[in-house]
Amino acid sequence: MALADLDRFLLMRETEPALHERLARPMDLEGFLALAADYGFSLDESDVFAAQQREAQAKTAHALQQLQAQESRPLRTFIHG
């Protein structure tokens, strides 16, 4: 079960300071998957997307609206009218 592997990988940051530091920095998906592979985890894009969906489904409608509002604020600077 790869989603469980992803959970275990992310829990490792609590006991691995180097992993914690690397995960604290921005990285793209390919970099994240390569980092997981460095620690012996075989993950792919679908595992990350499944974890994102699980997280979104666990949130309330209000929490999702607040998140959407935060993400849309930077876009307002590009909208002229």
- pLDDT bin (cut points 50, 70, 90) of residue 64 is low
* Average pLDDT across the chain, whole number: 85
Task: Write down the pTM of the prediction.
Answer: 0.67
Distance of alpha carbon 45 from alpha carbon 3, whole angstroms: 11
| Residues near 39 by beta carbon (within 8 Å), at least 6 away in sequence | 9, 12, 16, 19
Domain that holds residue 41: 2-78
Number of separate domains in the chain: 1
Map tokens 């992310």 to a residue. 10
Question: pLDDT (tens digit, 9 = 90+) per residue, 44-53?
Answer: 999 999 988 8
Query: Does pLDDT of 69 surpass 80?
Result: no
- Contact by Cβ (8 Å): 19, 25: no
Torsional class of 19: left (φ above 0), alpha (ψ -120 to 50), beta (otherwise): alpha
